[in-house]
Amino acid sequence: MLKNSLTHYGLVSVLLHWLIALVVFGLFALGFWMVDLSYYSEWYRTAPYWHKSIGILLALAMILRLCWRVVSPPPKPLVTHKHWERRVSAAMHLCLYFGIAVLVIRGYLISTEDGRAIAVFNWFEVPSFGALFVDQADIAGLVHEYMAYSLILLATLHGLAALKHHFIDKDHTLKRMFGKKP
């Protein structure tokens, strides 16, 4: 039930997948909105505080997800998936993992350049290593922004592919990501 099998996703992978998907789209929306807030907005400090706190929790969830992949590898691709579909989908999953890792690391580098730690909901703090290279916040900020747009584009394509499997091919791909057994 908790673990994946050769043919189905267990509860842990399913919950982590949908939670992380929700958080990625939510953080994008929050980030998109907060960059235009004026200094006089009541959200001026709160929104970045939430964005950073949730971003660090996302990093922890990704580490958990990667560890879980080792403990409980994902099921085999469906036999109905063509060879090229398997390769594209594996490459896409890799890009999604990589994109989230780059986003989180760049987000950390933006916030910690001034030497201040990141407070995660006042539960704990992630220490700062200060400025590690010249123009750190500016460079990291630019990469963070472009990576965020790229990740949302990739995640949307990935979601559309899942919907195509469900509504056009009428196979088990999407149902499987909700924990359904074949």
Quote the CA–CA distance of 44 and 100 in Å, as a whole number: 25
- By CB under 6 A, name the one of 93, 164, 180, 181 that touches ligand HEM: 93
**62 near ligand HEM (CB under 6 A):** no
- Name the residue among 148, 135, 51, 150 with its Cα closest to residue 92: 150
**162 near ligand HEM (CB under 6 A):** yes
**13 near ligand HEM (CB under 6 A):** yes
Q: Classify residue 37 by its DSSP letter.
A: -
**137 near ligand HEM (CB under 6 A):** no
**150 near ligand HEM (CB under 6 A):** no
For ligand HEM, the binding residues in 95-114 under the rule CB under 6 A are: 96-97
Indicate the residue among 70 and 134 with the shorter CB distance to ligand HEM: 70
Residue 49's contacts (CB-CB under 8 Å, 6 or more residues apart) are 119
Pattern 20-59, ligand HEM, x by CB under 6 A: xx--x-----------------------------------
Q: For 46-65, give the DSSP string.
A: HHHHHHHHHHHHHHHHHHHH
Indicate the residue among 113 and 176 with the shorter CB distance to ligand HEM: 176
Instruction: State the residue for tokens 């994109």.
Output: 99
Quote the CA–CA distance of 169 and 75 in Å, as a whole number: 19
Instruction: State the residue for tokens 């929306």.
Output: 29
- By CB under 6 A, name the one of 26, 128, 174, 179 that touches ligand HEM: 174
Q: Classify residue 113 by its DSSP letter.
A: T
Rounded to the nearest whole angstrom, what is the least distance from the CB of residue 110 to ligand HEM in the complex? 20
DSSP H stretches of helix in 72-182 = 83-112, 136-167, 173-176
What residues make contact with ligand HEM under the rule CB under 6 A? Answer: 13, 17, 20-21, 24, 74, 77, 89, 93, 96-97, 155, 158-159, 162-163, 173-174, 176-177
